[in-house]
Amino acid sequence: MPFLESLGLRYDGDAGTLHVLDQTRLPHEERWLDGSDPADMVGHIQRLSVRGAPMIGVCAALSLACASRRCTRSQLLAHAAALRAARPTAVNLMWAVDRLVAAIKADEDIPAAAEQIFAEDVARCAAMARHGAPLIAAGTRALTHCNTGGLATAGDGTALAVIRRAHAEGRLAHVWVDETRPLLQGARLTTWELARAGIPHTLITDSAAAMLMAAGRVDAVLVGADRIAANGDFANKIGTLALALLAHHHALPFYVVAPRSTVDPACPGGHAIPIEERDPDEVRGGPGAPPWAPTDVPVCNPAFDVTPAALVTAWVLDTGVLRREEVDAGALRS
């Protein structure tokens, strides 16, 4: 039984334990949470202690692997159903849980199925970086949104893995990091990862992106995805659509980077992607801060938005780079 480790998780197959780095505490505190019980993992995922589309799928699977040592089949299936429903938008969660459910029903080795999902995700991150890095021209000042790095996956990330590789190859000059309201995944997590990787970066408010693009200080936008529909529309952290529209207006390349496990061929278009609505208090105040808005002000807090395929320059997948013509011809339909 292996010991598996990534930036945000530690899994001990012999002991049947899983620990996850509490992403709500970063960057100022590195606190590890026990995620060996799927019931606890549901809470970690809902509170965003564990987050990022591929990462929540991997953690859900490994948590079921831990539970398989002590739970009956029907208990495991009940845990799987609760995990599957923990967040509605990221299809990687459903994809990973469904693979575990198939293993449970077929009486297969459940830890082996979960460990396979971890290993696949690591490999897919490396493949996305390999395919995406050549798209980054020398001297590029990239802009990114939310956190798409090692905390959001089992490997080096999606969009951030491309950025890391382009930097290692000497072409990436700088990263503009959107703070990513309301929960500040960019400000808290992406800056933490980029600093650890030694990549030059500057934190900006989300609303500064337009001004920087207008001033000619951004060369490309790279983002991740929580679900890509068959027609190429995709859901990602709220604020992504605004960036895509801005990039289009300023004739800048706009890349979405994701593993195949983020593609939902059964979803015909963006209109069919379920969008998570989160707690109004996330908007009334910042993480850990007292509310700055009236405590009863009505709030609209969609966690994701949908970017239409027409605004995407290319889809960087672990299987290769797709251009619009290929997507229009059905490359994401299976």
Of 58, 133, 137, nearest to 90 by C-alpha is: 58
185 binds ligand MRU (CB under 6 A): yes
CB atoms < 10 A from the CB of 145, how many? 28
Pick one of 49, 190, 236, 313: the residue that binds ligand MRU (CB under 6 A): 236
225 binds ligand MRU (CB under 6 A): yes
153 binds ligand MRU (CB under 6 A): yes
Pick one of 224, 232, 239, 270: the residue that binds ligand MRU (CB under 6 A): 224
Distance CA 72, CA 273 (A): 33
Hey, which residues between 190 and 219 contact ligand MRU (CB under 6 A)? none
Distance CA 310, CA 295 (A): 39
The reply to whether 318 belongs to the active site is no
Pick one of 226, 233, 264, 305: the residue that binds ligand MRU (CB under 6 A): 226
Binding-site size, ligand MRU (CB under 6 A):
19
Strands 140-144 and 220-223: parallel
Residue of closest CB approach to ligand MRU: 224
Residue 80 Cβ vs ligand MRU, minimum distance, rounded to whole Å:
20
Any idea how long the chain is? 334
Bridge partners of 145, per DSSP, are none
For residue 87, CA distances in Å to 6, 110, 150, 254 come to 22, 22, 20, 26
Instruction: Choose, from 226, 264, 305, 318, the residue flagged as catalytic.
Output: 226
Residues that bind ligand MRU (CB under 6 A): 48, 51-54, 90, 146, 148, 152-153, 157-158, 185, 224-226, 236-237, 303
Q: Which positions are annotated as active-site residues?
A: 226
